Amino acid sequence: MTRMMINRCLISSIFLLIFVFLLSFSPHVHSQTPDPALIPLLTQAIYRRLSNLSTVFEEEIGDNLGFCIKDVQREWNETFDFSSNTDFLAACLGKTQDLTQRICTAAEVKFYFGSFFESGSTNNKLKLNKNCNLTSWNPGCEPGWACSVAPSEQVDLKNSQDMPTRTRECQTCCEGFFCPRGITCMIPCPLGAHCPLAKLNRITGVCDPYSYQLPPGQPNHTCGGADIWSDIRSSREFFCSAGSYCPTTTQEVPCSSGHYCRTGSTSEKKCFRLSSCDPNSASQNIHAYGIMLLAALSTLLIIFYTCSDQVLSTRERRQAKTRAAAVRSVRETAQARERWKTAKDAAKKHAIGLQTQLSRKFSRKLSQKKPDDTLLPPMHPGASNASQQSSGASKTNKKEPSNLTRVMFALEEDLDSSEAFSVETGDKNTQKKAPKGKQINTHSQIFKYAYSQLEKEKALQLQNKNLTFSGVIAMATDEEIRTRPMIEVSFKDLTLTLKGKNKHLLRCVTGKIMPGRVSAVMGPSGAGKTTLLNALAGKATGCAITGSILINGKNESIHSYRKIIGFVPQDDIVHGNLTVEENLWFSARCRLSSIMPKADKVLVLERVIESLGLQAVRDSLVGTVEKRGISGGQRKRVNVGLEMVMEPSLLILDEPTSGLDSSSSQLLLRALRWEALEGVNICMVVHQPSYSLFKMFDDLILLAKGGLTVYHGSVKKVEEYFVGLGISVPDRVNPPDHFIDILEGIVKPTASSDVSSNQLPVRWMLHNGYPIPPDMQQIAAAIASSSSNPVVLADIAVDGAEERSFAGELWQDVRSNVVLKRHYIQHNFLKSKDLSSRDTPGIFQQYKYFLGRVVKQRLREARIQVVDYLILLLAGACLGTLAKVSEETFGLQGYTYTIIAVSLLCKIAALRSFSLDKLIYGRESSSGMSSLAYFLSKDTIDHFNTIIKPVVYLSMFYFFNNPRSSFTANYVVLLCLVYCVTGIAYIFAILLEPGPAQLWSVLLPVVFTLIATQRDGKIVKAFANVCYSKWALEAFVISNAESYSLFKMFDDLILLAKGGLTVYHGSVKKVEEYFVGLGISVPDRVNPPDHFIDILEGIVKPTASSDVSSNQLPVRWMLHNGYPIPPDMQQIAAAIASSSSNPVVLADIAVDGAEERSFAGELWQDVRSNVVLKRHYIQHNFLKSKDLSSRDTPGIFQQYKYFLGRVVKQRLREARIQVVDYLILLLAGACLGTLAKVSEETFGLQGYTYTIIAVSLLCKIAALRSFSLDKLIYGRESSSGMSSLAYFLSKDTIDHFNTIIKPVVYLSMFYFFNNPRSSFTANYVVLLCLVYCVTGIAYIFAILLEPGPAQLWSVLLPVVFTLIATQRDGKIVKAFANVCYSKWALEAFVISNAERYSGVWLITRCGFLLQYGYNVHNFGFCVSILVLFGVSSRVIAFLCMVTFKKR
């Protein structure tokens, strides 16, 4: 708000409160010479009226002042309750003898404050009135003087219409009142003011402590009382000064040691322990608490930083032990079973042989009997001894079988027992095939069940190793192998055309992929292989599709089956901060049937891990580019496993073998072939498979360039088909390589063949009788009429290749982009009927799974979280120390910087939630997972930061800044602020790329906070209402302003009990100390007078440790002061004297911390080993060795040239990012130039301050990209011998382009919207040096830190440095400001602008520059310092790069 608006608020508040107060004087006290004995009675009468008047006007005050007054009664008591000390009234009555005739009526008060507002300023010049005008200007019209009315005139203080004639007996204003210039009456000073009589300063001619002068030509006129009450900026002398307290409005007492007194205090407040409060302290120094909290929180964070992975790793180790035990148990059981079967087979063979011998001896009939299935066949009673012995041995075994033997008997007789297994894991019969008997709940039971099934499946695989699906179709009906729901995909005349450009990606493709078969899609680059898979999977966007795709012979959408369709993308889209098992297990839980028991889901998981050969790395993190994890081949297999664990019926894979070696590719394909045995339809794109791998496929789809089919059929018949065309595969040449080389034109068909590569698609159409497109009829005719000589035909030009103008091409591109975007959005909202017959987990169950996954990810990212918290701690400490609470603005400055800093840090951190997982979300949402569950899980976990980060920041800021508002109030506002900016960061993270999202997150808080602090212009105010900064700032200021209690502005307190007995009479500052001595303490956040009155009323009982009752308090006060005790109270006094129960105050006992020596030892060992490793690492980087390679590689200058060329190409390909940077700079310049208008008083200081912050933030964030993204590349290149200096200088050279251009871009908006007096050139020079400086600092952050912390530090530093640069108090702060680049940039800006103010501005300019310590001769020095900072930071960055990042 403007000063005028502040005055309006003050005037409205003061007018009503003063009016209520003056009504208390309405009794007609007209005595000319009041009896001194009556003065106390008159004071008591005034007090009794005052105590009830607030209720009379409570409704009116609430209606008019509700925006600034919550509790009318409390505010009244804290502002105008003089009952504790009415000495100033008594003194004034004794001095004037007609007090009520001199006090302003309602009309005069209204005239004074109305004129005060209308003047639009804070001086005391009022409009003319009946008492003070051009013809009548008596001494009472002068400031500090007042007059009385005629004896015959009755004064009605309630009269708000007519002003009485008040011109008689003018004299100085009484102490405790103020008398404005232009009216002739007195107004009481509020509590917390200091209104003594003024004294003439002979040197200056001013009435001290006020600022008015004596009227000229009136030698008998003396200095009077106070003259004006306004806001603190214009009437600071009216307030009780900081470092002192005013028990009454006429007395000012210096604050004693151990206490502090803020501006406007009525009592001194005791300082906390460990805080330092010297005499005359305005606030207590509680930095010690902040330092202790900083040390404690830092220690906790370091411990958490070091041990964050222990929870998950311990859990993983326990599960691994359980799994290993289950594997051992299952394998022992399987081995025992094999031994039992071997023994049984041997016994059977022996029995059969023995039976044959006996049959030859005894009878033909016996020899014709078939052997029984039991262990030994029934024998004749006259059998031989051998037979008896064998039978006896069998009986012996049956009498005493071992436990393992009993288990194997059970396995042989009942395969569905608890120790047996069943392979079936289907959706419908899952529960039927689950193990019978005891329930499977524990990890051990689940793993035993899963691995027993796996062992059975391995045996089955060995029996049917070489069978295909067609060979085991009968086996598929057996309960040992379950076939999944079948999906057959057929497509006819399938054509895909890119919308807006009419370019064919796929043409006239006809064929079928069938269940139980593995199909390979091959072809040269540009043949449309991936496009075909996307079309079959329903993922083709931006294309016009013609032809038909049938699912199981029906025209149905493929999206109806998406729950049982797996799509493996070409990129390895997996969570790098999860382990292999966690990635697979999450996919299984979310995408398998919800009714499938957990044991069966574990079985599916273990089967996939086993088949893909991932057992050795199942507990290893997948890893990212920056943080190494599993190998590339293993990562590719995890990518495939994510789809295999959901048991798909159709599995589509885009280049799953790319980047894999031959053995890994065969392992993957064997796993897929076993999937095909269960009826899975598998189709994949493959690049140049080996011959052995090629033979493992069932079908082949071979495409030519342009998306035309060359062959589609069995792999076994492909060579036969091409031989029929006269194309044979040479010896020792891989068939698919040969066919692709022909389609690429690298290899020509044999001379005996009359076929050319462009005829092959047409020949396939003719071979199958497919219709020929019109543009290929000529080729078809040539084929039909061809002789034995090959016909070479030129490519047919496509119609419509019209030569367009540049504008036409541009319009065509824009139009096609719009069409593509619209089609993409429509595709995202496509709805289809679910025909997959699988009930996957619902939203709530998926939310639970997502929540568990995000918790694990956050725990593994705990170090990043710790860094966030440490930076917040540092920001809180810096801002709390530097942005001291201003009594005038209720801490506005500190809260402004708090909003900017917290918004920046929390937004940058919140971007990580969604910006890094966009590809993974796209993959999961397309497979049918819930988007709502995904979003809510991320947001739920982020609520932890939303709750904790305000505590972390305030733990420093609150104790270093020491505002009057409560910690709770600050926490609530900061909690809501963090919640708000986190949501805004979500929008940026989802809609924008990481770079622009970071820039917008940096720019928005600065601009919004600047708008929130503006007070001019309706448009700006309206726009401020939609800026979160405005509401946060208002909440902060209100919470702090409410804490400026007017009760504390009283000097003395008279506390009376019922019956008019005194309970306390003395200084307000000592009242709590007195009651504490009686054992009565005031609870936290309770108003002391309310608590004491509640005790006297009997509503609240004294504490249990106190032996005081409420009726004893008056007697204790008498005994305390040695007053005589009335006879009727002698008994109470005797009881008090004989009381022995004294309250005991116990000192706090410090609890010795039980030192955890083992942990401390381990921690020290870790720290020591890390230091040794780091030292060895640095030594290794500077290791010099003799060059024996005998190769002269290019020198530094030549490499610099090569690096420069590469960086130029990279920057040109990143031109869109650069354009976004410039657009944001333009917007920032326009906003700041419009909002931060040049103040003539400060020479544009505010606008330049925000300019330094905004430009530093935007340029630093952009400069981070130069080095933060290429650390691994630099490590690889530097280790190979490339020059680090050439690498660094090439990056920096190209960044100089931005250094030169960005100031022009920003100033092109800021200069013309802001219109400073300084020249464009001067502003450009300063901004050029500033950008050069901050770019070098950004290099250091980019090289030393990870991207997240680097961004946070780049955000924090400009705010803190600029805040330091604007401070003017304290030698340490000034010294530190000299190493802050913001100080020199701000000085250069202000100097360049102030130089243009001349003439009448000379004194103003000199005063301002003196105040800030600036010198107009230092412009060149300031920009030189900025350049020096830029050069130094680049040198440091280069040294850090070669020291820490070289590999």
Q: Is 774 helix (H, G, I), strand (E, B) or coil?
A: helix
| Residue (of 295, 191, 201, 200) closest to 238 by Cα position | 191
Gap between the Cα atoms of 1148 and 972, Å rounded: 31
pLDDT of residue 368: 47
Kindly state the DSSP code that residue 1115 receives in the 8-state scheme: H
* Ramachandran sector of residue 679 (left: φ over 0; alpha: ψ -120 to 50; beta: rest): left
Q: How far is CA 201 from the centre of its chain?
A: 60
> Residues 1428-1439, buried b or exposed e (16+ Cβ, 10 A)?
ebbeebbebbbe
pLDDT of residue 790: 43
Q: Are 446 and 602 in contact (CB under 8 A)?
A: yes
pLDDT of residue 394: 38
* Residue 1250, Cβ density class (10 Å: 0-12 exposed, 13-18 middle, ≥19 buried): buried
Please give the backbone phi and psi of residue 251, each rounded to the nearest 5 degrees, phi first: -135, 135
Residue 1292 has pLDDT above 80, yes or no: yes
Average pLDDT over the chain reads 75
pLDDT tens-digit readout, 913-946: 887 777 777 767 777 778 888 888 888 888 888 8
pLDDT tens-digit readout, 1346-1383: 888 888 888 888 888 888 888 877 778 888 888 889 99
Q: Is 550 helix (H, G, I), strand (E, B) or coil?
A: strand
Kindly state the DSSP code that residue 239 receives in the 8-state scheme: B
pLDDT of residue 1415: 80
Q: Are 858 and 941 in contact (CB under 8 A)?
A: yes
Mean pLDDT within 1040-1061: 69
Q: Are 322 and 443 in contact (CB under 8 A)?
A: yes
Q: Extract long-range pairs of 1101-1104: CB within 8 Å, 24+ residues apart.
A: 1102/1078, 1103/1079
pLDDT tens-digit readout, 151-206: 888 777 777 778 888 888 888 898 888 898 888 888 888 888 888 999 888 888 88
Helices of type H across 861-891: 862-882
pLDDT tens-digit readout, 1294-1314: 889 889 988 988 887 787 777
Please give the backbone phi and psi of residue 562, each rounded to the nearest 5 degrees, phi first: -65, -20
Q: Are 887 and 262 in contact (CB under 8 A)?
A: yes
Assign 19 a pLDDT band (cuts: 50, 70, 90): very low
- With the C-alpha atoms ordered 16, 1031, 1042, 1018, is the resulting torsion angle positive or negative? negative
Half-sphere exposure in the Cβ direction for 118 (13 Å, CA): 10
Q: Both tokens of residue 1233?
A: 């130039």
Mean pLDDT within 1074-1093: 78
- Sequence-separated (6 or more) residues with CB below 8 Å from residue 1159: none
Q: Are 1004 and 1070 in contact (CB under 8 A)?
A: no
Residue 1335 has pLDDT above 90, yes or no: yes
Hey, which residues does 142 pair with through a beta bridge? none
* Residue 1076, Cβ density class (10 Å: 0-12 exposed, 13-18 middle, ≥19 buried): middle
Greater pLDDT, 372 or 1199? 1199
pLDDT of residue 882: 77
Gap between the Cα atoms of 737 and 758, Å rounded: 17
Query: Degrees (nearest 5) of the Cα angle 212, 213, 215?
Result: 125
Identify the helix (H) or strand (E) that includes residue 463.
helix 443-463
| Residue (of 552, 426, 557) closest to 486 by Cα position | 552
pLDDT of residue 827: 58
> Residues 809-841, buried b or exposed e (16+ Cβ, 10 A)?
eeeeeeebeebbeebeeeeeeeeeeebbebebb
Neighbours of 539 (CB within 10 A): 18
Mean pLDDT within 829-839: 64
pLDDT tens-digit readout, 261-275: 877 788 888 887 777
Assign 813 a pLDDT band (cuts: 50, 70, 90): low
Greater pLDDT, 442 or 787? 442
Q: How far is CA 1205 from CA 846, 1201, 1202, 1286, 1298, in A?
A: 50, 6, 5, 12, 17
pLDDT of residue 345: 78
Q: Both tokens of residue 1021?
A: 């105010």
Q: What is the 3-state secondary structure (H, E, C) of 396-418?
A: HHHHCCCHHHHHHHHHHHCCCCC
Half-sphere exposure in the Cβ direction for 405 (13 Å, CA): 8
* Ramachandran sector of residue 1248 (left: φ over 0; alpha: ψ -120 to 50; beta: rest): alpha
Kindly state the DSSP code that residue 745 receives in the 8-state scheme: T
Gap between the Cα atoms of 1380 and 833, Å rounded: 64
Hey, which residues does 704 pair with through a beta bridge? 708
Q: Are 858 and 937 in contact (CB under 8 A)?
A: no
Q: Are 694 and 734 in contact (CB under 8 A)?
A: yes
Place of tokens 């030292």: 1175
- With the C-alpha atoms ordered 1219, 1224, 1225, 1226, is the resulting torsion angle positive or negative? positive
pLDDT of residue 1330: 94
* Ramachandran sector of residue 804 (left: φ over 0; alpha: ψ -120 to 50; beta: rest): beta
Q: How far is CA 626 from the centre of its chain?
A: 21
Identify the helix (H) or strand (E) that includes residue 919.
helix 918-926
Q: Are 14 and 36 in contact (CB under 8 A)?
A: no
Q: Are 704 and 757 in contact (CB under 8 A)?
A: yes
Q: Are 1257 and 1355 in contact (CB under 8 A)?
A: yes
pLDDT of residue 267: 85
Q: Are 344 and 319 in contact (CB under 8 A)?
A: no
pLDDT tens-digit readout, 38-63: 667 666 665 555 455 455 456 656 66
pLDDT tens-digit readout, 217-270: 787 788 999 888 776 666 778 888 888 998 888 888 999 988 888 777 888 888
Residue 593 has pLDDT above 60, yes or no: yes
Q: How far is CA 1235 from CA 562, 1007, 1023, 1202, 1247, in A?
A: 53, 9, 11, 46, 8
Gap between the Cα atoms of 490 and 708, Å rounded: 16
Kindly state the DSSP code that residue 1401 receives in the 8-state scheme: G
Gap between the Cα atoms of 292 and 287, Å rounded: 9
Q: Are 55 and 26 in contact (CB under 8 A)?
A: no
Q: Both tokens of residue 1242?
A: 């400060």
Instruction: Tabulate helix, strand, coil % of the chain (nearest 5).
Output: 55, 10, 35
> Residues 228-265, buried b or exposed e (16+ Cβ, 10 A)?
bbbbbebbbbbbbbbbbbbbbbbbbbebbeebbbbbbb
| Residue (of 254, 296, 290) closest to 272 by Cα position | 290
Hey, which residues does 567 pair with through a beta bridge? 652
Q: Which of 26-30, 94-98, 1075-1079, 1241-1245 has the lowest mean pLDDT?
A: 26-30
Residue 1327 has pLDDT above 90, yes or no: yes
pLDDT of residue 65: 55
